[in-house]
């Protein structure tokens, strides 16, 4: 049995359970999924300063996952929080959801349409995609123009907007894969299998894809290269 830890930050209890339940649904006979708490909250939004401040907190969760015997670890959300530094802190695979989605999408298509929460986040997402060397794969960006905290009460409106924006990316920009660049859209509120059938293209989302990629790496006995990510000399989780 391969054990994958999924790290979830602080949310209102109903919202936290909603995300945990989705993560746990990706368990199988071969893969166990467990939840590791993170003492930081993305619920009200994270800007550049908040994102940088969260990394050390997420690092502690990665160390906890390794100490509890997990075979791989994944943070919640498409910001890939603490992933780069975390790979030097632990020996188990640390899989960033955004990077995992991009590489899974590259197996099933060539032009990715990304749908974000709000337009103010697009420059940050562009910078992330550029850092990952995947700019040439991107057909375009769209948004649902809605904050995370508003999605539960406006689920139908958000879903309708998401579908319309995705179809625009497919019809006008030539996207052949849709990546929800925000897990609160899909798979938390919109089921990816329904969405894929509705749109007629693959939908690669940021909970199932990274959990299963992490399990695959662990099953193959692979982890991050110590040439690229030398083992940290810091005290665990410092």
Q: Give the per-residue pLDDT at 118.
A: 94
Can you give the pTM of this predicted structure? 0.95
**CATH number of domain containing 60:** 3.40.50.1860
The pLDDT of 125-136, averaged and rounded, is 97
Asked if 160 and 214 sit in the same domain, the reply is no
Find all residues with CB under 8 Å of 25, minimum gap 6, and list them.
Answer: none
Residue 87: inside a domain: yes
User: What is the predicted pLDDT for the residue at 47?
Assistant: 76
Same domain, 200 and 110: yes
Mean pLDDT of the chain: 95
Within-domain flag for 233 = no
Q: Which of 115, 118, 116, 135 is nearest to 126 (CA)?
A: 135
Which residue segment(s) compose the domain that 20 sits in?
2-96+209-219
Residue 237 lies in a domain: no
Confidence at residue 236, expressed as pLDDT on a 0 to 100 scale:
59
Residue 225 lies in a domain: no
Query: Which are the contacts of 150, defined by CB distance < 8 A and separation ≥ 6?
Result: none
pLDDT value at residue 39: 86
Is residue 108 one of the residues assigned to a domain?
yes
Both 11 and 102 in one domain: the answer is no
111 and 199 fall within a common domain: yes
Question: What does the alpha-carbon distance between residue 220 and residue 125 come to, in Å, rounded to a whole number?
Answer: 30
Confirm if 65 and 73 have CB atoms less than 8 A apart: yes
Q: For residue range 8-51, what is the model confidence (pLDDT) as tens digits?
A: 998 999 999 999 999 999 999 999 999 999 987 776 667 778 87
Can you list the pairs that 22-26 forms with residues at least 24 positions away whose Cβ atoms lie under 8 Å?
22/183, 22/187, 22/188, 22/207, 23/76, 23/207, 23/211, 26/207, 26/208, 26/211, 26/212
Q: DSSP readout, 110-158?
A: S-EEEEES-GGGHHHHHHHHHHTT-GGGEEEEEE----HHHHTTTHHHH
Q: In total, how many domains does the chain have?
A: 2
Q: Rounded to whole angstroms, how far apart are CA atoms 171 and 164?
A: 10
CATH assignment at residue 197: 3.40.50.12500
Say how far apart CA 34 and CA 121 lie, in whole Å.
29
Same domain? 80 vs 113:
no
| Residue 189 in domain | yes
Is 29 found in the same domain as 86?
yes
Q: Assess whether 200 and 145 both reside in one domain.
A: yes
On whether both 13 and 79 belong to a single domain, the answer is yes
Percent of the chain with pLDDT over 90: 89
| pLDDT, tens digit (0-9, with 9 covering 90-100), for 195-223 | 999 999 999 999 999 999 999 999 999 99
Q: What angle (nearest 5°) sits at the alpha carbon of residue 232, between those of residues 55 and 8?
A: 30
Residue 220: DSSP 8-state: T
194 and 129 within one domain:
yes
Residue 238 belongs to a domain: no
Q: Are residues 41 and 125 in the same domain?
A: no
Examine the domain organization and report whether 135 and 50 are in the same domain. Answer: no
Residue 232 forms part of a structural domain: no
Residues 117 and 182 in one domain: yes
* Short-list 101, 109, 110, 170, CA closest to 129: 101
């Amino acid at each position: 049995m391969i054990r994958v830890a999924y790290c979830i930050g602080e949310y209102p209890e109903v919202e936290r359970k909603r995300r945990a339940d989705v993560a746990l649904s990706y368990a199988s006979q071969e893969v166990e999924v467990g939840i590791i708490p993170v003492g930081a909250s993305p619920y009200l939004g994270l800007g550049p300063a908040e994102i940088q401040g969260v990394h050390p907190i997420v690092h502690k969760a990665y160390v906890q996952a390794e100490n509890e015997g997990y075979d791989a670890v994944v943070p919640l959300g498409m910001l890939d929080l603490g992933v780069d530094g975390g790979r030097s802190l632990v020996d188990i695979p640390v899989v960033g959801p955004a990077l995992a989605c991009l590489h899974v999408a590259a197996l099933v298509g060539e032009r990715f349409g990304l749908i974000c929460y709000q337009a103010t986040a697009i420059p940050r997402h562009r910078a992330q995609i550029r850092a990952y060397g995947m700019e040439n794969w991107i057909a375009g960006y769209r948004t649902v123009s809605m904050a995370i905290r508003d999605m539960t009460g406006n689920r139908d409106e958000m879903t309708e907007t998401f579908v319309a924006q995705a179809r625009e990316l497919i019809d006008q920009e030539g996207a052949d894969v849709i990546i929800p660049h925000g897990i609160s859209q899909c798979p938390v509120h919109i089921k990816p299998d329904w969405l894929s059938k509705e749109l007629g293209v693959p939908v690669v989302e940021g909970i199932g894809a990274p959990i299963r990629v992490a399990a695959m790496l662990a099953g193959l006995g692979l982890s991050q290269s110590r040439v690229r990510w030398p083992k940290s000399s810091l005290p665990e989780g410092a």
